[in-house]
Copies of this chain bind each other. A is one copy, B any other.
C-alpha cells in the first residue's frame, strides 16, 4: 500500500488525494506540517513541500505534478476510458497546460496566499512565519480569483470538462484548489454560474467526499462548503 504525506488544506495534496481516489487507490495518509521541516520529510522531498507519495517499494515521488505524471505512467493504461491524462498528443498538451495553470499559476496568485495567511499561519510558530494574516495578500488573492473563475466559465461554455470531452487531471487540480478557497468563503460563485455548475459536478463525485469532511480546527467552513446543491 502506498503512503501519501499530505496536509488537509494543501491544495496540491488535495489534488493528489482526488487523483488516487479516482484511480481506486486508498493510500495511508500521513499529515505533514511542511513548515516544520522535519528531517525525515526533507529526505523524501528536499524541496520540503507536500504532497509526497511513497510506494511500498520505498520509492518517494515528490510534488503534485510529478506524482500525476508518475501515476499516469504506472497506472494510467489500466484505467483505459477513465484515464486522467488522455492518449492523444494534442489533448495531453491541453491537459498539461491547464494542470500547470492551476498547480502553478492559480497557486501563486490565489491559493498560496489564502491558505498561508488564513489557515497555516494559525498553526505556525512566530519563528516559522506565524502571526496575524497579511490583509494585502488576502485582498490580492480575492481580486485574482475572479478572473480565474471567469476563465473556467469561458472554458466550460465550450467544453464538457475543463480540458475537453473527458474528466482529466485539469478538472481535479482546478477543483482541489477551488475547494480550499471555497472553505474560506472566498469564491464569488454568483459571478459565474457556468463555473459553479462545473464545480458542483466535480464536487459530487465520490472521490471528493473525504475532502469535504476535513475541517480546520477552530475554523468552520463557509456555509455551502459541503453542500452538493449549493
Residues of A within 8 A of B (CB): 45-47, 59, 61-63, 65-66, 69-70, 73-74, 89-90, 92-93, 96-97, 100-101, 104-105, 108, 151
Contacts and interface: CB of A to CB of B under 8 A. Distances in A.
Contacts of A70: 89, 92-93, 96
How many copies of this chain does one complex carry?
2
| Chain A, interface SS category | helix
A114 to B, nearest CB: 18
A175 to B, nearest CB: 19
Given A65-B100, A66-B100, A93 B47 contact: no
Contact of A59 (B47, B69, B90): B90
A97 B66 contact: yes
A93 B61 contact: yes
A74 B47 contact: no
A177 to B, nearest CB: 15
A42 to B, nearest CB: 12
Given A59-B89, A63-B96, 17 more contacts: A47-B105, A59-B93, A62-B97, A63-B100, A65-B65, A65-B100, A66-B93, A66-B96, A66-B100, A69-B69, A69-B92, A69-B96, A73-B89, A73-B92, A74-B89, A104-B104, A108-B108
